[in-house]
Structure 1
Amino acid sequence: MELTIGKFAKAVNTTIRTLRHYEKIGLLVPSKRNELNQKIYTGDELKKFYNIQLLKSLNLPLYEIKQRLEDPEYSFKEMLEIQEALLLDKRDKINMSLGMMTRIKALLNETGDLTNEDLMLLMNSIRLEEDQRKILNRYFSIDTIDAIIPKSKSQQIALDRLNMRLLSFFQAAIHNELTPESHEVQRELKEIIEMLPVPLEEFYNSNNNLEKQLGIIKAILPVNMTEFLGEAIRVLFNSHHEGKGE
Structure 2
Amino acid sequence: MRTISQIAKLTGVSIRTLQYYDEIGLLKPSEVTLSGYRLYDDDALERLQQILFFKEMDFKLREIKEFVEEPGFDKIQAYKKQKKLLCLKRSRLDKLIGLLEKLEKGEQCMSFKEFDLSEYIGALEQFKKEKTEEVIKYWGSVDKFNEFIQKVKDDQETLLPIAVKQFGSVEKYTEAMKYNLEHFQELMEQIEEIGEQKDDILKKNDDLYLRLTSDLTRDTTSKEIQDIIQEMMDLTEETSIGIDMGTGYWDMVIESYAGETGRKVMDEKYGAGASEFIAKALHYYIHKQEL
Structure number with bigger Rg? 1
TM-score when normalising by structure 1: 0.41
Larger RCO (alpha carbons 8 Å, 6+ apart): 1
